[in-house]
Amino acid sequence: MTSVETSTDTPHVVICTTGGTITASTVPGGVVVAGDSDVATQAMLDGLRSVLPPSIRVSARAVLDADSSTFGPAEWDRMVDAVSGALADPGVTGVVVAHGTDTLEETVMALDLHHTDPRPVAVTGAQLPADHPESDGPANLLDAVLLAADPVSRGLGVLVVLGRAILQARGVRKWHTTEPVAFARNAPDLPVEGLPPELERPILPGRARFSGTRVDVVSCPPGSDAVALRACVDAGARGLV
150: CB partners within 8 A, 6+ apart: 120
Tell whether the model's pLDDT for residue 202 goes beyond 90.
no
Report the pLDDT averaged over residues 25-46. 79
Q: State pLDDT tens for residues 64-99.
A: 999 999 999 999 999 999 999 999 999 999 999 999
pTM of the model as a whole: 0.87
Would you call 23 a catalytic residue per the annotation? no
Active-site entry in 17, 18, 21, 23: 21
DSSP characters over 172-188? EEE--SSSSS-EEE-SP
Residue 166 C-alpha from the chain's centroid: 13
Q: Provide the pLDDT confidence category of residue 6 given band limits of 50, 70 and 90.
A: very low
Tell whether the model's pLDDT for residue 4 goes beyond 50.
no
Which residue in 159, 37, 29, 156 sits closest to 104, CA to CA?
159
Task: Please say whether the beta carbons of 87 and 119 come within 8 A.
Answer: yes
For residue 4, the tally of other CB atoms under 10 A from its CB is 11
The domains of the chain, with CATH numbers, are 12-210 (3.40.50.1170), 212-241 (no CATH)
> What integer pLDDT is reported at residue 37 of this predicted model?
65
Tell whether the model's pLDDT for residue 36 goes beyond 70.
no
Task: Please say whether the beta carbons of 58 and 12 come within 8 A.
Answer: yes
Tell whether the model's pLDDT for residue 199 goes beyond 80.
no
Q: What percent of the chain has pLDDT over 90?
A: 67
Cα-based angle 101, 39, 159 (whole degrees, multiple of 5): 30
Q: Provide the pLDDT confidence category of residue 211 given band limits of 50, 70 and 90.
A: very high
Task: Please say whether the beta carbons of 161 and 152 come within 8 A.
Answer: no
The 8-class DSSP code of residue 226 comes to S
> What integer pLDDT is reported at residue 108 of this predicted model?
97
- 171-202 burial: b if 16+ Cβ within 10 Å, else e: ebebeeeeebebbebeeeeeeeeeeeeeeebe
Which residue in 89, 24, 81 sits closest to 59, CA to CA?
89
Q: What percent of the chain has pLDDT over 70?
A: 90
Task: Please say whether the beta carbons of 136 and 125 come within 8 A.
Answer: no
For residue 98, the tally of other CB atoms under 10 A from its CB is 27
